[in-house]
Structures are given as C-alpha cells and as structure tokens.
C-alpha cells in the first residue's frame, strides 16, 4: 500500500489523497503538486515555512537537535578537521578529496583567481565609497559577459569548470570591492598563497606586496588568523534552502546564466535579516558601548513594550544551540588567548552571552546566540571592517550556491519557480 495522506474538504465532504515522500533524514513531505488539479484550490504557506521546494542531497539541518551536515558529514568534523577547500570539494563532488585531488583543486583555484583586466576597470564606474556588497553583486553579474558560454553547460566537466572559476574569483572581486570602497589601489592575487591567506593579503597589502600592520601590530598574516577565517568560510558554505539559496534556485529555474544566479544570491544575502545580521550585531555592540550598560539593554530586550531587539540571538531554523555558533564560540576563546585580544566589544559580547545562556527569559524562548553573534565579534578581532562582513559570508557561501545551482540543473523534473497567491484585491 502506498504511503499517502487524505485531506477532506468539510464544505463538500470530498476527500483527496496525496502521496507521502519519505526523507533519508528529517521530516517526510506531502506531495501536493497535484493539489490544484484535484481540488481547484491553492495551499497557503506564508514564508514557505512548511514547504519543500526541491529534493536535495547537499545539506541537512535538524533545528531541534542543533544538527548541520554537508553531504552527510557533521559540521563539527568539517570545521575542526578539514579545510574550507576540502569542504568545497566535498560539496561539489559528494566526497572529501585525497591528497592528490586536494592539491590539484588548490592549484586550479589559485590560477583561476585572476580576473580579466576589463572587469577590473568596471569598478571605476562605481561611486567612491560604494558599499562592497553592491559592487560585488554587480561585478559577479558582469562575469557572465566574459563567460557567456556557461549558459549552455550540460556535462560534468562543464559544471566543474564553471564552479571552480566562480569560487576562485569571488575572493578577488570581494577584495577589489573593498579596496574601491576606501579608495585604495587593487592588489592582485598571489598564487603562492593559499585560498584564505590570499584573501587576507588582497585586503591588507600595499602595492608592491608589503603588508600593513595586522593584529598585534605585526606585518605578517598569522596562521591563527588564516585558520579562523577559513573556519568561518566552512561554517557558511551552505545552509539548505535559505532565502539566498532559494533565490539562486529561482533564478536558475528561468535558465539564466549561473553567475547571474549567484549575483542574485549576493543581493538577497545583503539583507540585515539574512547575511547582513553580523554587521548589525557589531553596530549594536558599539551602540551599547560599555559593559556597564549591558543590563540596561537586556532589560529593554525583555520589555514587551520596547521595540529594541537583541541582535545575534535566535534562529529561524535552530531551536537549539546553532552548531556553527558553538564552533565559533570555541574559536573566539582561542583567538582571545593566542592573539591576546581584550577588546571592549568582546567584553560586552561575552557579558551578553553569559546573561542570555543563564537567563530563563532567553532559555524558555530558545534564544541562543547564533552564528552572526560570534562571527561579527571574531571578524572585528581580525581587524576586518564591518562593510566586509557580508562579502566574507558571500565568499564562504558561493560554493553552496553553485552546488545548489548544479543540482537544480541536473534534476530534469524541476520547473520554473512560480508560486501562486491568495488574491484579496477588488
């Protein structure tokens, strides 16, 4: 007997059967693709909170347990035992690379990190001080003019080449976007540097390759800084069908160029309710200004008559401690010790964290610190400007977006995205 669910229209007593599709992990789903044909009605799901829009083998989240897996591997293992490039390879190939595969992958990304000179000149058209997210989105869309043939990709070799090209170039474009925003000359990629180190180099170096003083006034990039940023990239690599990923898949459904789809994801990520949240966390910590004022703002957050909301707490999916936040909490403590960090913002954040993790108001509402709470503090500790927080999110998430794009294109059953509506007009 086929698994199904029966729905009854109490107005007419008519009943309709719909198949149940079982998942390998997580909830099963009801296949309502024939709902309109059978009932003459649409379903209503504001924000798609109970709707599965696709079948996927990439990322799994259990929000109640606080679980996140890429291709079946727990995020804790990937973030602590593997590099971001290994994670990229895993997402693209459904397996972790061996030493030879990783070396070849690394070398290819290094050599693909350079961008066409005409694309570099595009930034001159943008106004001085433009936010890096705006110019990064535009420059990513412009990549489609240099690689227009990618719109016809139909084989695995083509998918891999396209994916590796965009993964390699996004850090370069992000660094260019930042340097344009502050009026600094561009620093080209150094293929002798690793993926994550190269990005830090491109945003920190002076022309000629000399480094400005980084954490603790040193002229070199420290291994702990590279490890910290690499971990952040890994934690952001994919996160199931969130707003920006859904946007990428929606644009993909129209047959648009893959780099245009990625550009649309960047634009969606910019929102403060999505990727821009970690920037908002730091702005709020700066507004609080002192450890002595923390209790005042905690009280405001608990006051139902006050519009103030504490940024960096709670999550749309996780109703337990965000596993990514747990990893970043440990990383933050490590950075504080190894880099001798003792900033005012970190002290404020740690007091807020201590109160929230022990206060019944936050515990009962499952308002745990999320990834944005810790990532903003860590990026600040690494002396990365707030304007670059979301572009760094973009760098980490690009592999997820392009993997989702590939999965969509390979699924012959997928259709153009076309939600319906409950019309209430005249």
Catalytic residue ranges: 315, 372
Are β-strands 67-70 and 14-21 bridged in parallel, bridged antiparallel, or unpaired?
unpaired
Contact 180, 104 (CB under 8 A): no
Q: Rounded to the nearest 10 degrees, what angle do helices 223-235 and 84-93 cross at?
A: 30
CA gap 257, 269 in Å, rounded: 19
Q: Which residues of 131-165 are buried (b: 16+ CB within 10 A; e: fewer)?
A: bbbbbbbbbbbbbbeebeebeebeeeeebbbbbbb
Q: How far apart are CA 57 and CA 204, in angstroms?
A: 38
User: For residue 251, what are the CA distances in angstroms to 54, 155, 245, 290?
Assistant: 14, 20, 10, 44
The CA-based diameter of the chain, rounded to the nearest angstrom, is: 78
Going by DSSP bridges, is the β-strand pair 67-70/59-62 parallel, antiparallel, or unpaired?
antiparallel
Q: Could you give the count of Cα atoms lying within 13 Å of 99 in the half-sphere of its Cβ?
A: 0
Give one DSSP letter per residue of 340-362, joined into a string: T---HHHHHHHHHHHHHHH-HHH
Q: In this structure, what token pair is assigned to residue 422?
A: 């409950």
Q: Give me the sheet containing 4-9, strands edge to edge.
A: 4-9, 14-21, 29-30
Token representation of residue 127: 């106004």
SS3 content of the chain, % helix, strand, coil (to 5): 55, 5, 35
The 3 state secondary structure assigned to 251-295 is HHCCCCCHHHHHHHHHHHHCCCCCCCHHHHHHHHHHHHCCHHHHH
Going by C-beta distance under 8 Å and a sequence separation of 6 or more, which residues neighbour residue 254? 416, 417
Alpha-carbon distance values, 187 to 38, 175, 426 (Å) = 60, 8, 57
What sign does the CA torsion over 217, 219, 224, 228 have? positive
């Amino acid at each position: 007997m086929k698994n199904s669910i029966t729905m009854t229209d109490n107005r007419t007593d008519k009943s309709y059967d719909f198949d149940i599709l079982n998942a390998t992990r997580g909830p099963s789903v009801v296949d309502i693709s024939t709902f309109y044909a059978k009932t003459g009605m649409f379903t209503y799901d504001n924000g798609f909170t109970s709707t599965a829009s696709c079948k996927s083998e990439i990322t799994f989240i259990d929000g109640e347990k606080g679980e996140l897996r890429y291709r079946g591997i727990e995020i804790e293992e990937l973030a602590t035992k593997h590099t971001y490039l290994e994670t990229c390879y895993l997402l693209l190939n459904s397996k972790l690379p061996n030493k030879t595969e990783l070396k070849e992958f690394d070398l290819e990304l290094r050599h693909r990190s350079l961008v066409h000179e005409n694309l570099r000149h595009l930034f001159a058209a943008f106004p001085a001080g433009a936010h890096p997210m705006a110019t990064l989105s535009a420059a990513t869309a412009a990549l489609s003019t240099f690689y227009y043939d990618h719109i016809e990709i139909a084989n695995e070799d083509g998918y891999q080449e396209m994916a590796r090209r965009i993964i390699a170039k996004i850090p370069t474009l992000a660094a260019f976007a930042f340097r344009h925003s502050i009026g600094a000359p561009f620093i080209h990629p150094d293929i002798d540097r690793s993926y994550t180190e190269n990005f830090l180099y491109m945003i920190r170096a002076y022309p000629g390759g000399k480094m400005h003083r980084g954490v603790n006034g040193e002229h070199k990039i420290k291994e702990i800084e590279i490890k910290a940023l690499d971990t952040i990239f890994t934690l952001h690599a994919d996160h199931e069908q969130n707003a920006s990923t859904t946007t990428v898949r929606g644009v993909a459904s129209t047959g648009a160029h893959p780099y245009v789809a990625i550009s649309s994801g960047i634009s969606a990520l910019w929102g403060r309710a999505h990727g821009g949240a970690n920037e908002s966390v730091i702005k709020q910590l700066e507004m609080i200004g002192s450890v002595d004022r923390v209790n005042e703002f905690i009280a405001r957050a608990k006051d139902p008559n006050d519009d103030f909301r504490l940024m960096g707490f709670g999550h749309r999916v996780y109703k337990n401690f965000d596993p990514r936040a747990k990893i970043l909490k440990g990383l933050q403590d490590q950075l504080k010790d190894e880099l001798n960090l003792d900033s005012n913002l970190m002290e404020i954040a740690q007091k807020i964290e201590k109160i929230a993790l022990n206060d019944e108001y936050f515990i009962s509402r499952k308002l745990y610190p999320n990834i944005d709470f810790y990532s903003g503090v860590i990026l600040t500790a690494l002396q990365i400007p707030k304007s670059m927080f979301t572009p760094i999110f973009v760098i980490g998430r690009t592999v997820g977006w392009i993997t989702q794009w590939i999965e969509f294109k390979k699924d012959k059953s997928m259709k153009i995205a076309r939600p319906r509506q409950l019309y209430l007009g005249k």
